[in-house]
Structure 1
Amino acid sequence: MTTYGRMRDELVEDGRLRVAINLGNAALAARGAEGGGLEGITVALARRLAAALGCEPDFTVYEGAGKVVDAAGEDAWRIAFCAIDPERREHVAYSSPYVLIEAGALVRAGSPLRHVDELDRPGMRLLVARNSAYDLYLTSHAKAMDLVREADPGASFRAFKAGDPQADAVAGVVQSLRKAFGDDGAYRYLSGTITAIGQAMALPKRFEHLAPDLTRFVEEAKADGFVRRELDRAGKTSLTVAPAETG
């Protein structure tokens, strides 16, 4: 494994690396069964980086990616895991992506909607998690639908289950929707994908000069099969490892 002396010198404090873990994306991180510890690809990557830096990871849990990004300016963490989005670059610096995931949508069983493309029309109201990658994507690309924002993915799912009369559908990372709603016959998953999202490791903006080093770390973890093995270990066999960065 490559030596990362510059990152160790600037990011490690008293032998610990402060890491933000987003539990709003069930595809990437979760709590273990029966009160177990954190698990998933983001946790595995954080532990691997800490080992490479000769320190221990110090985890702080957040319920949504927007909250992770908001905390970047509060000196709350040194490493995080976020979907890549241009608007977030004002606050964080990214590595190359380590995995690609998809965002989709779910409706109530009686809805006439069948495909996510049918959502973008006048009068249609879609529940989203505020400042999630799909919220930011839809804010830039949707032409006619109204976005109804909740604080985090869990809050948006709970609002839809509670029968929020404003919402015709709820959006989310496909794996998170499946975890929250399962095969409940009261709901139906729409065909199609809202967007495919590259997930990357992140640094607070003031450490942007370390982003190339973090990219080297991510590319090494992809090249030696670590990312694929950890996704499979977590049961996320359907997730796609991001292509190697070239150039």
Structure 2
Amino acid sequence: MNPSDNVKQQLAPTGVLRAGINLSNFLLVSGQLGDGSPDGISPDIARYIAAQLDVPCKLVTFDRPGQLADAVNQDIWDIGNIAFESERAQTLDFSDPYVLIEANFLFHQDEDFVSNDDVDREAVRIAVSERSAYDLWLTDNFNRAQIVRAPSINAAHQMFFDNEVNVLASLKPKLLEDMESHKGLRLIETPFTAVKQSVGIAKGKPEAAAFLNTLIADLIRDGWIAAQLDRHGVAEKLGVPALSA
């Protein structure tokens, strides 16, 4: 791809692509390089975009996605690799997703939940990682259950195993790991939402947004995304979005 000067100015105005990276998602940041910098599909995407712009890439790390989203107008990052969610879209423009992650409900086998709708009822307490995309989805769509927010994914899981809540809402791959290591757990197989991992930018950069969408579509079509997921050992845990005809 040959990005225009306007695209380069919109995405890397300092001559360096500053990429916001959410460290809390173990599927997207799955390891470290030899120099200690983050490795995984999210850093891969950032470095690829920088290469296409012919500029260096600087990774700006955040412990939680909400912190990354809050920094959109602080001139800290130029792109932010974060999941699309309607609340975030009030201050960010998002590319089309480059990977999808299913989010499901986990509960102890003595509970009587069958469907996702069963979970949204009085007296049900749901543990969730605060300001994750699926937390925001639950906030918009669930009216009766009590959503109990934890500061991290691991803290939400611990809250569930400490019996502080009835239900755990989390990413399906981590829930499946829990089921392998703990007895007496059940999963509602149908995801209540799919997390759309995207590239976010500040609003008002239409040329940059179009460039990112074209780039991501090319990476999906050419098999680059699938190859990176396989390289990082997460191909069976993350989905590659289908391209529209």
Alpha-carbon distance between aligned partners in 1 of 2:125 and 2:141, rounded to the nearest angstrom:
15
Alpha-carbon distance between aligned partners in 1 of 2:159 and 2:28, rounded to the nearest angstrom:
23
Q: CA RMSD in A?
A: 2.5
Deviation of 1:130 (Å): 2.2
Deviation of 1:218 (Å): 1.0
Aligned residues: 243
Alpha-carbon distance between aligned partners in 1 of 2:108 and 2:60, rounded to the nearest angstrom:
34
Contact 1:98 1:242 in 2 (8 A): yes
Counterpart of 1:244 in structure 2 is: 243
Q: Are 1:62 and 2:59 matched, yes or no?
A: no
Counterpart of 2:215 in structure 1 is: 217
1:41-79 Cα distance to aligned partner (Å, 9 max, x none): 111111111111111211122232222211213222111
Q: Per the alignment, in what secondary structure is the counterpart of residue 131 of structure 2? A: coil
Deviation of 1:206 (Å): 4.2
Alpha-carbon distance between aligned partners in 1 of 2:182 and 2:157, rounded to the nearest angstrom:
16
1:166-206 Cα distance to aligned partner (Å, 9 max, x none): x1122112234456x46222562412311122221110224
Counterpart of 1:85 in structure 2 is: 85
Alpha-carbon distance between aligned partners in 1 of 2:184 and 2:65, rounded to the nearest angstrom:
25
Counterpart of 1:122 in structure 2 is: 122
Structure-to-structure mapping, 1:37-186, within 5 angstroms: 37-108=37-108, 111-113=111-113, 116-161=116-161, 163=162, 165=164, 167-178=165-176, 181=178, 183-185=180-182
Higher mean alpha-carbon deviation, 113-122 vs 167-176, is at: 113-122
Over 3 Å counting, the alpha-carbon distance change for 1:221 and 1:4 in structure 2 is farther
TM-score normalized by the length of structure 2:
0.87
Gaps of 5+ in 2: none
Residue 234 of structure 1 aligns to which amino acid in structure 2?
A: H
Alpha-carbon distance between aligned partners in 2 of 1:207 and 1:164, rounded to the nearest angstrom:
46
Counterpart of 1:201 in structure 2 is: 199
TM-score normalized by the length of structure 1:
0.86
Q: Per the alignment, in what secondary structure is the counterpart of residue 100 of structure 2? A: strand
Q: Per the alignment, in what secondary structure is the counterpart of residue 172 of structure 1? A: strand
Q: Per the alignment, in what secondary structure is the counterpart of residue 180 of structure 2? A: coil
Alpha-carbon distance between aligned partners in 1 of 2:55 and 2:159, rounded to the nearest angstrom:
41
Residue 232 of structure 1 aligns to which amino acid in structure 2?
A: D
Alpha-carbon distance between aligned partners in 2 of 1:72 and 1:189, rounded to the nearest angstrom:
38
1:200-228 Cα distance to aligned partner (Å, 9 max, x none): 11102243552112111111111211111
Residue 129 of structure 1 aligns to which amino acid in structure 2?
A: S
Residue 242 of structure 1 aligns to which amino acid in structure 2?
A: P
Deviation of 1:14 (Å): 4.4
Q: Identity percentage over the alignment?
A: 28
Deviation of 1:108 (Å): 4.2
Over 3 Å counting, the alpha-carbon distance change for 1:20 and 1:178 in structure 2 is farther
1:79-125 Cα distance to aligned partner (Å, 9 max, x none): 11222222211111011111221001223465454654431111000
Contact 1:63 1:154 in 2 (8 A): no
Over 3 Å counting, the alpha-carbon distance change for 1:164 and 1:101 in structure 2 is same
